Chain A
Amino acid sequence: MKALPLGAALSAAVLCLSVSAHGFAYCLTRTCDPETMQCELDSTRTCIVSGKTLFWPNSCVSYDVQKDGSQKLNISYDALHTVVVDAFQKWLDADCGNGTHPSIRVADYGAVTCAKPEYNKDQPNANIITFHDQSPWPHPNAVDTLALTTVFFNGDSGEIYDANVEINSAEDSFAVGDAKGTQVDLNAVLTHEIGHFLGLSHSAFSDATMYSSYMPGMTTLEQDDVTGICLSLPPNRVPLGSECTPRHGFSTECGQPKTGCCATAVGSTGSQSQTLGLFAFALGLTAWRGRLRLRRSARAPRR
Chain B
Amino acid sequence: MNWPCGGQRGLRSGLFPAPARRPPCANLRADMNRRQTLGLMGTLLAGLIAPRLARATTARAVALGDLVRRSTRIAHATPLEGSSRFEDIGDTRHIVTYTRLRVEDPIFGDTGETEILVRTLGGHVGELGEIVHGEAQLALNESCVVFLRANADGIEQVTEMAQGHYPLLADSGGALRLQASRNMPRLVGNPGAAVAQLANLRLPDARALILGVKR
Contacts and interface: CB of A to CB of B under 8 A. Distances in A.
Given A151-B130, A215-B189, A272-B88, A39 B93 contact: no
A117 to B, nearest CB: 6
Contact of B140 (A38, A117, A155): A38
A286 B57 contact: no
A60 B97 CA distance: 31
Nearest to B122: A33
Nearest to A138: B90
A289 interface: yes
B78 interface: no
A210 to B, nearest CB: 8
Contacts of A23: none
B86 A271 contact: yes
A110 interface: no
B123 A148 contact: no
Interface stretch (B48-56, B109-117, B200-208): B48-56
B58 A279 contact: no
A244 to B, nearest CB: 22
A37 B140 contact: yes
A139 B140 contact: no
Interface string B61-96: 110000000000000000101111010111111100
Contacts of A212: 180, 184-187
B22 interface: no
Interface in A1-55: 27, 29, 31, 33-39, 41, 45-48, 54
A146 B91 CA distance: 19
A262 to B, nearest CB: 14
A140 B169 CA distance: 30
A189 interface: yes
Interface in A272-303: 272, 274-276, 278-279, 281-283, 285-287, 289-290, 293
B189 A214 contact: yes
B99 to A, nearest CB: 5
Interface string B145-186: 000010100000111110100010100000000011011111
B41 to A, nearest CB: 6
A112 to B, nearest CB: 15
A165 to B, nearest CB: 8
Which of B41, B84, B91 has the most chain A CB atoms closer than 10 A to its own CB?
B91
B131 interface: yes
B28 interface: no
A46 B137 CA distance: 12
B92 A202 contact: no
Contact of B58 (A39, A192, A287): A192
Contacts of B83: 36
A149 interface: yes
B198 to A, nearest CB: 15
B80 to A, nearest CB: 11
A271 B183 contact: no
Contact of A269 (B93, B123, B124, B185): B93
11 contacts: A33-B97, A34-B140, A35-B137, A36-B81, A45-B169, A141-B151, A141-B160, A142-B59, A147-B58, A150-B131, A211-B186
Given A213-B187, A266-B128, A290-B34, 17 more contacts: A29-B131, A33-B122, A33-B123, A34-B139, A35-B79, A38-B141, A116-B92, A138-B51, A148-B57, A148-B58, A148-B133, A155-B124, A214-B58, A269-B93, A279-B41, A281-B14, A286-B38
Interface of B: 13-15, 34, 37-38, 41, 44-45, 48-49, 51, 53-62, 79, 81-84, 86, 88-94, 97, 99, 120, 122-124, 126-134, 137-142, 149, 151, 157-161, 163, 167, 169, 179-180, 182-189
Q: Top 5 closest A-B pairs, CB basis?
A: A138-B90, A139-B54, A34-B139, A145-B56, A155-B129
